[in-house]
Chains A and B, each alone.
Chain A
Amino acid sequence: GESVGLHLPTLSVQEGDNSIINCAYSNSASDYFIWYKQESGKGPQFIIDIRSNMDKRQGQRVTVLLNKTVKHLSLQIAATQPGDSAVYFCAENISDAGNMLTFGGGTRLMVKP
């Protein structure tokens, strides 16, 4: 079946640098794309979402870009901090399918001091 996936399993960045986490999706029927952050021993935490009719959305230190032409999603974190170290998941949501989330495999972000 169609699924959401990620390009890189681990990303290591220097504190203060910008981070970019990528995700490829295959279901063009998705209404929303969402990024979740999961710290060790905790459940995933909602970060930011983007609707399928948008190509960019900004939050606090985070920006999500959506390229529907190539079915690509990215999460940019500005001035990465040690507290950003976690596993990041992209997920897709189809409103007509009961609003269920389909998660990708995750990228681990490691921030070096």
Chain B
Amino acid sequence: EAGVAQSPRYKIIEKRQSVAFWCNPISGHATLYWYQQILGQGPKLLIQFQNNGVVDDSQLPKDRFSAERLKGVDSTLKIQPAKLEDSAVYLCASSLGPNYRAYEQYFGPGTRLTVT
């Protein structure tokens, strides 16, 4: 079974530039998550999708971050404009759905973003 795919793996941009990350979850997984992981810390949830609807985006900085999952499969996370403090690894995860072991999430390898 293929895992969660993410691209790119690494990205370096200057502050005030824009960047987009892509995620393809495990086939059949209805729930998709985006996390931000700052070096030395645990992942922090940014947004959770159930199919193509947003379940929770309370920790997403909506003035600069946006995410979509238009067809209920792939998802993109965008930052515009980027700030220095956005430097982190952005992890995508998926799970089967809300009714069975929703806490068992499968993570992709992440995208390491460096903002200079």
Contacts and interface: CB of A to CB of B under 8 A. Distances in A.
B103 A43 contact: no
Contacts of B31: 99
Interface of B is mostly: loop
Interface of B: 4, 31, 40-45, 48, 55-56, 91, 93, 95, 98, 101-110
A100 B56 contact: yes
A103 B91 CA distance: 13
Contacts of A104: 42
A103 B102 contact: no
A46 B96 CA distance: 14
A23 B98 CA distance: 26
A89 to B, nearest CB: 5
Interface residues of A, number: 23
Given A93-B103, A101-B103, A44 B45 contact: no
Contacts of B48: 98, 100
Nearest to B97: A99
A99 B110 contact: no
B55 A101 contact: no
A49 B44 contact: no
A106 B41 contact: yes
B105 A103 contact: no
A91 interface: yes
Nearest to A90: B42
Given A44-B43, A105-B41, 7 more contacts: A34-B103, A43-B93, A46-B106, A98-B48, A99-B103, A100-B56, A103-B43
